Amino acid sequence: MAALTKKNVPNTSEKRAFAAVLLELRERRGLTQEQLGFESGYHPKYISLLERARFAPSLTAILELADSLGISASEMVRRVEKMLPRDRARRRDIRQIR
């Protein structure tokens, strides 16, 4: 298995949807990446990586970012879900356990 590098980092529809939601919420609030980083406790570079769909956030990051943006984490995830394609591929097949 090849090591992940900047050139071959998987860019999933989930990451792209989260990136778009995060960017929209941050801009609507009138915050820079630096300001959001300060308010949420994350480095501005991490915010940038999330907004460029390079990283997927952890549950803790979603909770902290949503709080800093004045929105519930469930509302943030709901917005992400609305952006996902209906026919998106599942991460793995479900097979019957014997």
* pLDDT single digits (tens) 14-65: 999 999 999 999 999 999 999 999 999 999 999 999 999 999 999 999 999 9
pLDDT score at 98 = 62
pLDDT score at 85 = 80
> Alpha-carbon dihedral of residues 76, 79, 81, 86, nearest 10 degrees?
180
Q: Please give the CATH superfamily to which domain 13-83 belongs.
A: lambda repressor-like DNA-binding domains (1.10.260.40)
pTM beyond 0.75, yes or no: yes
Q: pLDDT confidence of 86, banded at 50, 70, 90?
A: confident
Domain coordinates in residue numbering, the chain:
13-83
pLDDT score at 91 = 59
- The angle formed by the CA atoms of residues 64, 53 and 26, to the nearest 5 degrees, is 45
Q: Is the pLDDT of residue 13 over 80?
A: yes
Tell me the C-alpha distance between 59 and 46, whole Å.
15
